Amino acid sequence: MAKSKNGTVFFCQECGYESAKWMGQCPGCKAWNTFVEERVTISTKGSGTASKSGSAAKRAEPSKLSEVSLGGEERINTHIGELDRVLGGGIVPGSLTLVGGDPGIGKSTLLLQVCQKLAGAGRKVLYLSGEESLRQIKIRANRIGEFNDNLLLLCETNLHAIEEILKMMKPDVTVIDSIQTMYSEDISAAPGSVSQVREATNIFLQLAKGMNISIFLVGHVTKEGTVAGPRVLEHMVDTVLYFEGDRHASYRILRGVKNRFGSTNEIGVFEMREEGLIEVMNPSEFMLNGRPEDASGSVVACSMEGTRPILIEIQALVCGSNFGIPRRQAIGTDFNRVNLLMAVLEKRVGLQMSGCDAYVNLAGGIKIVEPAIDLGIVLAIVSSFKNRAIDSKIIVFGEVGLSGEVRAVSMARQRVQEAKKLGFTTCILPAVCMEGLKEEKDIKVIGVRNVRDAIDLI
């Protein structure tokens, strides 16, 4: 006969590793001081007859790949183009999507707008909040616009009650705001703990797959920018979206980190206004707004985010250091990459910057790690070091190697077309990408083989 007793186990908050005792370092993810104590109910079998549930249960039979039917289900269009782009073409029925971001960044506003569009299209939508009252949701909804009766609101945190309501209502789409507030009475741990978050996600996963309900989970992030709770939460869901941007700036960037149904390279750009989040159809023009003219240390580079080219202004400031150790700082790009490129300039070009402070900034607050902006960073640093302005109609892109060579990047034609669309007259790019671009009209295309050639051009 099965019995149950209360026990104590320790979970790693970063990766979900389980241990019978507390440890300073997690054996799974090697993080320090991440173990927390949780009380759990442990089932034990008595000395009587062995359980026959395994043999009595219906066993699944393996299937041939050729016999698996894809079905005729189509994606659900949210009527928000930027979100559909990141999702890979719309919401997949029965999918579980996690939306993370800093407090106040606009997660709840975006998902309420999604509910508005879906309800307007005739979909049955349930917005479930564990943090706000119905009155607070109504105030935000009035700011966004009109809603019809297909949208239902519920304030509840008990997982068993939510499960019964979902089985009874069978909505097309459900929003859970937020996963950290949900709790199960079967687990004695506090809401937001490792055990509760994992149990809640597991229940919503079963509901999404079993009842074909598309569920959005809102997740809070930690100081390091990752979703609070164990990383196992990201492994369980189908899609992970992060909302980025400065709370005090008007733009927001929605980035796909994991997507089982599409690419993870796409981004969506929004602008926060009083009436909610507005799509930015041309992010390049938006990012270059207010760019200074005839200022040294400024150059425009082109990066690809999925299939979309984005033009970004790279700013650099190089000045003499007042201390023995020069200060280096990078905002919006990899700090170590900037140090590497400065070392290439010293070794391959002969620019002595070892006694200079250097600051590199990607204007607009966007974060880009694509190597194609290397040439832009190099030219911005040289421009500031020599105090010579670069023509505002010049755009550059290319990866820089340790030998100072400028290496090829993908989708060169799309980058040149985007630059031409915004009025740039000269494009400096890797020489190996010149094939098929020489006949371009209205823009002069120049290929360079190394950073010295690029510096001589400007």
Helix axes 159-169 and 194-211, enclosed angle (nearest 10): 10
Q: What are phi and psi of 136, to 5 degrees?
A: -65, -40
pLDDT under 70 in the chain at which residues? 1-6, 39-58, 71-73, 222-232, 247
Q: What is the pLDDT of residue 52?
A: 43
Q: Which residues are annotated as a binding site?
A: 101-108
pLDDT of residue 144: 92
d(CA 267, CA 255): 5
Closest CA relative to residue 338, chosen from 310, 380, 298: 380
Q: What is the pTM of this model?
A: 0.78
**Confidence at residue 54, expressed as pLDDT on a 0 to 100 scale:** 44
pLDDT tens for each residue of 215-271: 999 987 765 555 555 566 888 899 999 988 776 777 888 999 899 998 888 889 999
User: For the chain, which domains are there?
Assistant: 2-47 (no CATH), 75-281 (3.40.50.300), 286-457 (3.30.230.10)
At a CB cut-off of 8 Å and minimum separation 6, what does 436 contact? Answer: 413
pLDDT of residue 226: 58
Q: Is the dihedral of CA 189, 191, 195, 201 positive or negative?
A: positive
Annotated binding site for ATP: 101-108
- Give 356's contacts (C-beta < 8 A, 6+ positions apart): 318, 319, 320, 321, 326, 385
306 closest CA partner among 68, 84, 97: 84
